[in-house]
Amino acid sequence: MPERPMPPVMLAIPPAPCLADFITDRADDRLRDLLAFAMAVEAARPMEPEALRRKAEAELQAHAFRTLHNQAEAIRMEAARDQIARLPRGPGLLKLVLANLLAIALVLGAAYAIWLRPDLLPAGVF
């Protein structure tokens, strides 16, 4: 049985948004307006330009807050690293070992002196 040709499918393509509908007169709002236009193109359906402007403004504010937060964190980390770099270095292992040996020698010397001359201690200590 011969196949019948399929009728062509007609898809309704929504009208593309016009950039002029989104651009306002203020130069300060150009980035917001372009983002609103991009959001309208991405949505692929007609949307109210003012609603998209508000959404674009909220997205830009959220992005600015995240960027500011991340930069503040980086500045804090850099300041902490600088402060740690300014601190003097602690004693090394050799100095710590020598200090402990000196402390042991002093205690042993005091114990030896007391063993040799117990009369130097006040009465009743030992």
Give me the mean pLDDT over the 89-110 stretch.
96
Do residues 35 and 96 both lie within one domain? no
Q: pTM here?
A: 0.51
Do residues 57 and 69 both lie within one domain? yes
Tokens of 90: 């602690």
How far is it, in rounded angstroms, from Cα 105 to Cα 72? 52
How far is it, in rounded angstroms, from Cα 78 to Cα 85? 11
Confidence of residue 3 (pLDDT cuts 50, 70, 90): confident
Residue 95's domain comprises 91-126
* H helix runs in the chain, sequence order: 30-43, 49-86, 93-116
Do residues 100 and 82 both lie within one domain? no
Residue 112 belongs to a domain: yes
Tokens of 53: 């402007």
Q: Which amino acid is it at 22?
A: F
pLDDT at 126: 62
Confidence of residue 13 (pLDDT cuts 50, 70, 90): low
How far is it, in rounded angstroms, from Cα 43 to Cα 37? 10
Cβ atoms 36, 53 nearer than 8 A = yes
Residue 5 belongs to a domain: no
Do residues 20 and 42 both lie within one domain? yes
Do residues 83 and 96 both lie within one domain? no
Count of structural domains within the chain: 2
